[in-house]
């Protein structure tokens, strides 16, 4: 599938030339002889994506805005895939209600800053990883400053204005961005899709985002014209909780799942799908011409 990026950033990318199993074994043996154990940690990634791609992942700087039900799983996957530098942006703290869907949420971590807990976990996965922690919420005002230096940005926040800020800032800086839709009220991970944000369905959060981008930031008003920005979302219609329908109707449908039920099967699938897009984008960016 062709990368969904801003139209002016599109280019033709060939498939990566993969390393052979013997080459991987030789590299691993050479590194081990010098006292390094990291290659063994990521041998599976090297076999799948190739040596050049692994080098690119090691050099990459990925910013994840929102380290909750979706973003925590994205960070987990990126750390386990050898991404060299992660920039984690969130001001929230772990609460007991997070435990059903957020990978860093445990009885022992309740009350701790999400970025701190996730950073510690990522370092346990890969001691060589570089983590930059920003204990703040991303906004329209600070988005352009926070994304500086990132190679890719992952949106996993539940505020429309924050998403607008990231879209505008990434467009101006030419930084690839992947958006996340709403997770609240969704329970079927088989309905998770990856598509241009202009084409998403049954997602009130992304619909509000599109409306603002079209009205104030020059994005195409023609419903058939793509924005050139990928989005992970769940195509399933949101289910209202039967016991608190009136509260759910008043609450926002977002990644925070406020007023809605939530399922780790959906939030994790969305987060992992976003991580997969990042890994594929980075690995293709270093592919050798055919």
Position 144 pLDDT exceeds 70:
yes
pLDDT of residue 256: 53
Instruction: Measure CA of the first residue to CA of the last residue in the chain; give whole Å.
Output: 17
Beta carbons within 10 angstroms of residue 177's beta carbon: 26
- Predicted local confidence at residue 17, as pLDDT: 37
Q: What is the pTM of this model?
A: 0.82
Contact by Cβ (8 Å): 86, 130: yes
Rg from Cα positions in the chain: 19
What pLDDT is recorded for position 181? 98
Instruction: Confirm if 178 and 278 have CB atoms less than 8 A apart.
Output: yes
Alpha helices (H) along 98-159: 114-125, 143-146
Q: What is the pLDDT of residue 243?
A: 55
Could you give the CA distance from residue 177 to residue 165 in angstroms, rounded to a whole number? 12
Q: Which fold has domain 51-284?
A: Rossmann fold (3.40.50)
pLDDT exceeds 90 at position 113: yes
């Amino acid at each position: 599938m062709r990368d969904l990026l801003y139209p002016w950033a599109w280019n033709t990318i060939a498939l990566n030339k993969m390393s052979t199993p013997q080459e991987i074994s030789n590299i691993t043996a050479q590194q081990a002889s010098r006292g390094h154990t990291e290659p063994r940690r990521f041998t599976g990634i090297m076999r799948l994506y190739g040596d050049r791609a692994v080098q690119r992942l090691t050099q990459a700087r990925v910013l994840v805005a929102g380290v909750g039900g979706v973003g925590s799983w994205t960070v987990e996957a990126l750390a386990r895939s050898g991404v060299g530098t992660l920039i984690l942006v969130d001001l929230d703290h772990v609460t007991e209600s997070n435990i059903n869907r957020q990978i860093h949420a445990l009885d022992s971590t309740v009350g701790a800053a999400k970025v701190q807990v996730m950073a510690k976990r990522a370092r346990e996965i890969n001691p060589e990883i570089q983590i930059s922690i920003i204990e703040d919420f991303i906004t329209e005002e600070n988005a352009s400053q926070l994304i500086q230096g990132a190679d890719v940005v992952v949106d996993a926040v539940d505020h429309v204005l924050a998403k607008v800020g990231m879209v505008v800032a990434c467009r101006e800086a030419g930084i690839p961005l992947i958006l996340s839709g709403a997770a609240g009220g969704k329970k079927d991970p088989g309905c998770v899709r990856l598509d241009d944000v202009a084409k998403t369905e049954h997602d009130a959060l992304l619909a509000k985002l599109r409306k603002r981008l079209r009205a104030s930031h020059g994005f195409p008003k023609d419903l058939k014209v793509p924005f050139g920005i990928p989005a992970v979302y769940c195509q399933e219609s949101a289910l209202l909780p039967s016991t608190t329908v009136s509260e759910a109707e008043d609450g926002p449908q977002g990644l925070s799942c406020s007023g809605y039920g939530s399922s780790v099967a959906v939030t994790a699938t969305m987060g992992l799908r976003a991580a997969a897009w990042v890994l594929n984008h980075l690995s293709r960016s270093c592919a050798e011409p055919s």
